[in-house]
Amino acid sequence: MDALGGFGASFDPRAAGYKDPILVAATDGVGTKLKLAFDTEDYGSIGIDLVAMCVNDLVVQGAEPLFFLDYFATGGLQPDVAAAVIEGVSRGCQIAGCALIGGETAEMPGLYAKGEFDLAGFSVGAMERGTGLPDPENPVTDGDVVIGLASSGVHSNGYSLVRKIIEKSGASLAAAAPFDATQTLGAALLTPTRIYVESCLAAVKNGGVRALAHITGGGLLENIPRVLPEGLGVQLDGSNWKAAPVFAWLQDQGGVNEMEMARTFNCGIGMVAILRPDAAETVLENLTKAGEQVYRIGHVVADSGSHVHIENLQAALGGH
């Protein structure tokens, strides 16, 4: 890799151990979760979110994240704020096992409100040719097992609704969270997105994983169909997993119905894996050993519309 300070950076996939690499790229941001960081002046973990949103999208394609770049844009640079954000980006890269090889800090007076900024991230990963997901030679089929890896909380999607619910409830971000007295509401809602790189790459390498779906904007209802072949859907049972209590609070305070919860939030499941039935128990065991909270949440079914059918979602969400 080239030294920092140039106009760009280079990376040699062969030096990273790849023989015939295919490169995979992803870009994303943190969205309106940034508004909570502004309101609480807590910038320590938002950089982890930025990395997570990009590298988790690489993993679902079977790619190992190699390097990451960030874009930090603000009306007027506050060095301490920028340092906290970039420190979070660095920590996220360490968790993901990728290199932070550069980025851009842009000052644009008049474009952003005082004290506010925007973030974007860019990551490139690699996989050996023919090892990507979903595998057309080993496609998802009717009867495959669907498992869910627990999220750390709301992650980085649905925060426009979260902010409306906070306003409606009258809750203070500085007060103890109604669902967790050990931390403030602001800190609870800023819990960083979980990074699934190490555990999921190991599971893919060990075999049995047909597809992975990162549960981001669109929730469970819109992300799982992205990895399903035409004519297949999934049947999920909410009584098989338990979401963090933040979701029950959001639902209760916002009066949000079950399907809207499933379309807006991850509802306790940050990553979904679709497995060969004969490999399901082994994959579950290995992911658990890797530190994931894993649930067997459903199975693949024939469905002309590639729908996600969820029964007993309220059991997962709690409340009501």
Report the alpha-carbon distance of residue 277 to residue 267 in Å, rounded. Answer: 24
The residue with tokens 């994931």 is 292
Q: Are the C-beta atoms of 301 and 309 separated by less than 8 Å?
A: yes
Residue 117, classed as helix, strand or coil, is strand
Would you place residue 1 in the very low, low, confident or very high pLDDT band (cuts 50, 70, 90)?
A: very low
pLDDT of 8 reads 84
> For the whole model, what pTM was predicted?
0.97
Q: What is residue 262's DSSP assignment?
A: H
Q: Are the C-beta atoms of 316 and 266 separated by less than 8 Å?
A: no
156 pLDDT exceeds 50?
A: yes
305 pLDDT exceeds 70?
A: yes
The encoded tokens of residue 107 equal 């000052």
For helices 79-96 and 197-206, angle between their N-to-C axes, nearest 10 degrees:
20
Longest alpha-carbon distance in the chain: 59
| Cα pseudo-dihedral 143, 144, 148, 149, rounded to 10 | 170
What's the whole-number mean pLDDT along residues 21-44? 97
Q: Which of 139, 133, 70 is nearest to 105 (CA)?
A: 70
pLDDT of 6 reads 76
For helices 159-169 and 245-254, angle between their N-to-C axes, nearest 10 degrees:
60
Residue 1, classed as helix, strand or coil, is coil
pLDDT of 109 reads 94
13 pLDDT exceeds 60?
A: yes
Query: pLDDT tens digits for 195-204?
Result: 999 999 999 9
Query: pLDDT tens digits for 35-82?
Result: 999 999 999 999 999 999 999 999 999 999 999 999 999 999 999 999
Residue ranges and CATH numbers for the domains of the chain are 21-128 (3.30.1330.10), 145-317 (3.90.650.10)
Report the alpha-carbon distance of residue 215 to residue 257 in Å, rounded. Answer: 19
Query: pLDDT tens digits for 202-253?
Result: 999 999 999 999 999 999 999 999 999 999 999 999 999 999 999 999 999 9
Q: CA angle 147-153-154, nearest 5°? A: 100
pLDDT of 151 reads 98
Report the alpha-carbon distance of residue 28 to residue 52 in Å, rounded. Answer: 9
The per-residue b/e assignment along 212-237, b for 16 or more CB within 10 angstroms, e otherwise, is: bbbbbbbbbbbbbbebbeeebbbbbb
